[in-house]
Amino acid sequence: MLPRSAPPSKSPLSDIELRLRYLLPASLYASVWVDPSPDSLMQVFQHLRTMQHILHDYTPHQLSDDPPRPGQIRYSWQEGTLLFNDLAGFTPLMEASAASGRQGAVELLKLLNRYFSEMIEIVSKSGGDLLEFTGDAILVQFLASKQNGDTAQAVRAGLRMQRAMAHFQDIKTPQGSFSLDMRVGIHAGRFLAADIGTPERMVHVLLGQAVQRAKRAESNGRVGRVCITLAAGDRLQSQFQLEPIDVNHQLVIDNLGTAGLGEYDITVPRRRSATSVLFDRSVPGLLDQIGGAITRIEPLACFMPAPILNLLVESAAQRQLEPDFPVPTIVFINLVGLPESVDVATASEVEGLVARFSQTFALIHAVVRSQGGILQKVTYHSLGSDMLLYFGALGSHPTDRVRAAETALAIRKIVAQVPAPIIGGQEIGVSCRIGMAQGAVFAGEIGEPRGRREFNILGDPVNTAARLMSHAAPNQILLSEDVQQAIAPHFQCRAIGDLTLKGKAAPMAVFELV
């Protein structure tokens, strides 16, 4: 008979292990569990301190300075000015870079981060808060100030951005020279900021028609110019010369000298997240500090998609994610009905709308995760709110396209079952429009390398999926031809003819997933 071994003693990490396991690299997790010595615990504390800085840089400062508890739904009305910008000319540059493989990805990342670093510096010096990166676009918020100064700040920021684009002309590559240009759109008004989701996954969103009008200002603008809505123009009090372009929008004429525009409005240095100074390096003292670090990290970590959080955790020591050109399947979801209804709702109705939006997001995110996809974020469209999903950007699988199609069908079913909210005694219809495409994209950590940044995907397939979504009818799923060919053995698809999409030189065959 074998001798009975003594029962194992309780690990000093037992009380925090469940909270700690998804925040540590696999090798560090195993080593500290096997040997919870002061040296190992010190490595854990240092890693968590690095993760806190990374997650702080991944989130807008309003959120990182005052995050909700995981799963806490909160919202507030805000006044201010929103600025959207979008690059023109990125796709041919990306395709040229992709021809050089991994080295091309590295060089493209350097260029993108030089571009974004300049834009982020302008945003900071102009008093704005960069809310998000969406592909090669950014959304900036200027909170209301006295005498409507926030709108003038946004316009000056837009003009500075356009002037800075002179640094991105005639870009030399082995495949030739390329130039980048930009559109800028601005609107001022009232919008609802909300944090929604579950303790596992939350998102920070802006709701209301003011957001959509800012997006339309960018879409209807001109390359190289700053386009503003009439509402934004009314707040400027003749500070800038304006040129009407349609019944809703005007272009700002940049006739200011260098001194007139200046380099900054207000410098708001971004505060680094507070970190503890270790005085007690005993095992109990280190465990106490590690518990405090986890408490500070968890509210920010739940705003990260799990695969991206894991990527950040595993690469924290390098403080850099390697760029690549994967070939994912992209799904864009446009949710219509809930986001834009907040403007006409009463206080109690707004609470119900936010709760319903949160529930819908949670169900959609669950479907995406169960199918192995990534729900990157909730972003903005000229109608409703968008959700960007992708399959195969962080590790591909032969069934990526099939799982993406199954996800799209499941999301359409979820949206169809959302109870129609009653606003002002009237039933508000809730629907979705979905676009799907596939192809090579640039995937990397874009922004300021040691500042505000996010992991993102950029490229023509992302734009194509978004434009197919825009062409879709309510509750319709439109596909590019290559997606249709990949899923045809598994799903019923119907040809709807050729469509000319924005940015495409020729019409493309489009199909419907039925």
Query: Whose CA is closest to 61, among 219, 271, 232, 246?
Result: 271
Other C-beta atoms closer than 10 Å to the C-beta of 22 total: 13
Q: Does residue 76 lie in a domain region?
A: yes
pLDDT of residue 183: 96
Query: Whose CA is closest to 232, among 188, 185, 265?
Result: 188
pLDDT of residue 440: 94
Total domain count, the chain: 3
Q: Does residue 266 lie in a domain region?
A: no
Same domain, 343 and 246: no
Provide mean pLDDT across the span 315-337.
92
Same domain, 253 and 285: no
From its phi and psi, is residue 104 left (phi > 0), alpha (psi between -120 and 50) or beta?
alpha
Token pair recorded at residue 112: 């993108």
From its phi and psi, is residue 157 left (phi > 0), alpha (psi between -120 and 50) or beta?
alpha
pLDDT of residue 40: 95
Same domain, 287 and 374: no
pLDDT of residue 266: 65
Same domain, 281 and 390: no
Strands (E), 99-215: 129-134, 137-143, 171-173, 176-178, 181-197, 202-207
Instruction: Look at strands 181-197 and 226-229 and give their pairing.
Output: parallel
The pTM score is: 0.91
Q: Give the whole-number percent of the chain exceeding pLDDT 90.
A: 77
- Domain extent, residue 162, equals 66-261
Same domain, 429 and 393: yes
Provide mean pLDDT across the span 19-31.
96
> Residue 231, SS3?
helix
Same domain, 36 and 176: no
Q: Does residue 314 lie in a domain region?
A: no
Contact 85, 182 (CB under 8 A): yes
Q: Does residue 312 lie in a domain region?
A: no
The rounded mean pLDDT for the chain is: 91
Q: Does residue 324 lie in a domain region?
A: no
Provide mean pLDDT across the span 106-131.
94
- Taking 60 as the threshold, does the pLDDT of residue 201 lie above it? yes
Q: Give the whole-number percent of the chain exceeding pLDDT 70.
A: 95
Same domain, 115 and 253: yes
Question: In what helix (H) or strand (E) does residue 461 lie, and over which residues does it extend?
Answer: helix 460-471
Q: Does residue 80 lie in a domain region?
A: yes
Provide mean pLDDT across the span 304-312.
96
pLDDT tens-digit map of 375-406: 999 988 767 789 999 999 998 889 999 999 99
Q: Among 10-14, 33-37, 208-212, which is the least confidently predicted range?
A: 10-14
Same domain, 159 and 186: yes
Of 147 and 91, which is predicted with more confidence?
91
pLDDT of residue 72: 97
Same domain, 194 and 89: yes
Q: Does residue 246 lie in a domain region?
A: yes
pLDDT of residue 320: 80
- Taking 90 as the threshold, does the pLDDT of residue 158 lie above it? yes
Same domain, 254 and 287: no
Distance (Å, rounded) from C-alpha 390 to C-alpha 408? Answer: 11
> Residue 212, SS3?
helix
pLDDT of residue 5: 55
- The residues that bridge with 427 in the sheet, in sequence order, are 422
Query: Whose CA is closest to 418, among 360, 475, 365?
Result: 360
Using 50, 70 and 90 to split pLDDT, how confident is the model at 238? Answer: confident
Measured between alpha carbons, how far apart are the two ends of the chain, in Å?
Answer: 66
CATH number of the domain bearing residue 496: 3.30.70.1230
pLDDT tens-digit map of 257-285: 877 787 778 655 555 555 556 667 899 99
pLDDT of residue 353: 93
pLDDT of residue 205: 93
- Taking 90 as the threshold, does the pLDDT of residue 481 lie above it? yes
Q: Does residue 5 lie in a domain region?
A: no
- Taking 90 as the threshold, does the pLDDT of residue 237 lie above it? no
> Residue 311, SS3?
helix
Same domain, 296 and 414: no
Same domain, 196 and 72: yes
pLDDT of residue 275: 58
pLDDT tens-digit map of 482-510: 999 999 999 999 999 999 887 777 899 99
